[in-house]
Amino acid sequence: MSGWPVGCFRDNRVLVVGGTSGIGNAIARAFIAEGALVTITGVTEDEVRAAAAATPGTEAVRLDVRDGDAVKASVAGLGSLDHVIYAAGIIRRGQEHDPEIFEAVLDVNLNGAMRVAAASRPLLKPGSGTILNIASMLSFFGGGMVPGYAASKGGIAQLTKSLAIAYAPDGIRVNAIAPGWIATPLTEALRSDPVRSSAILGRTPLGRWGLPEDMAGSALFLASPLAAFITGVILPVDGGYLAS
């Protein structure tokens, strides 16, 4: 197959958990541009309202991924589903050595991904749908200030591989992208620190912070028929950071 499969996402139902901002929102916009029917979720009513106004062509709903019953009800309410993107995530830099905060970060970033995947599986099976998780550079490296975030993203990588095996008999492909250093609210503290920002840019061969939109092409590819024989992959989208 050569070239982009035009129309392959038209009228596909797509759920982007954590799609009200950042990487999730950029991926949601990319699916909308391809004609998909996109639902995005956020954790507060305010962010949901703001995202709905700022993201034409999408349905925005409130969802707390820590609430298993709410996840099941929200996913089931969609009726059908072709693609799921799990982009929900929190970070508590400097606080995650507190076991309670560590646990809270894992509950959103990792346990939430499992709740959404399990709830989505029955709806994805009829159409041999896809799941895309958002991993991180900290799926590969440790993070001294963010042990909870790093542990959760390492877990996302292993969860992705494990579910790829488990869901393959249903025809469901499960992959992840591992963003490099992307200009989102989660990295604001790093970007505002000249020393840390300089170190990151100095190691990134492409020499810049990534943009949320830089993740969209990889997300579309992994969900598309062009990636029909790809599952269990953790794809770095990092400007060359891991290679340097």
Q: Give the whole-angstrom CA distance, residue 189 versus residue 183.
A: 10
Q: Give the whole-angstrom CA distance, residue 16 versus residue 191.
A: 26
In this structure, are residues 123 and 72 in contact, taking their beta carbons and an 8 Å threshold? no
Output the DSSP codes for 5-39. -TTTTTT-EEEEETTTSHHHHHHHHHHHHTT-EEE
User: Does residue 241 carry a catalytic annotation?
Assistant: no
What is the phi/psi pair of residue 185, to 5°?
A: -55, -30
Q: Residues with Cβ < 8 Å from 77, sequence gap 6 or more?
A: none
Alpha carbon separation from 207 to 73, 172, 211 (Å, rounded):
44, 36, 12
**Considering 86, 149, 167, 241, which one is annotated as catalytic?**
149
Residue owning tokens 């089931």:
76
Q: Give the whole-angstrom CA distance, residue 11 versus residue 1.
A: 22
Output the DSSP codes for 131-144. EEEE--GGGTS--T
User: Which residues have a catalytic role annotated?
Assistant: 149
